[in-house]
Amino acid sequence: MEPFARTINAAKKYVVSSTLEQVDWNAELVRGDLGNAVRQLKQESGKGLFVGGVKLPMALTELGLIDEYEVVVHPRLAGHGPTLFAGLSKHVDLKLVSQLEFGSGAVAMRYAPRS
């Protein structure tokens, strides 16, 4: 955990919010037009941007701003919790870019939108 903690602590973070006035933990607040803000960040970033949560990936998918999706499937059925991309206005066809199976049985799959 320690190498991960050092890496995440040092990484620049962006928080998208219409209600927060300030953020901390090496973060910058993103407000206003989400599409324009993310397009600008994608031009500035040298190693890509990683997105988490439920609402933000949905909004970025609707705007066509996600270049790759990484989905990690864990070997447990929970039966509750948020549903990713529920309510998406149109389907997005994906192609598998890579996959990695972990000793735990979890599988990480990377997809890119089909052209």
Instruction: Report the predicted TM-score, pTM, of the whole model to 2 decimal places.
Output: 0.83
Residue ranges of the chain whose pLDDT lies below 70: 1, 45
Q: Transcribe the chain into DSSP letters.
A: -HHHHHHHHHS-EEEE-SS-S---SSEEEE-S-HHHHHHHHHHH-SS-----SSHHHHHHHHTT--S-EEEEE-S---S-SPPTTTT-SS---EEEEEEEE-TTS-EEEEEEE--
Q: Which domains does the chain have, with CATH numbers?
A: 32-113 (3.40.430.10)
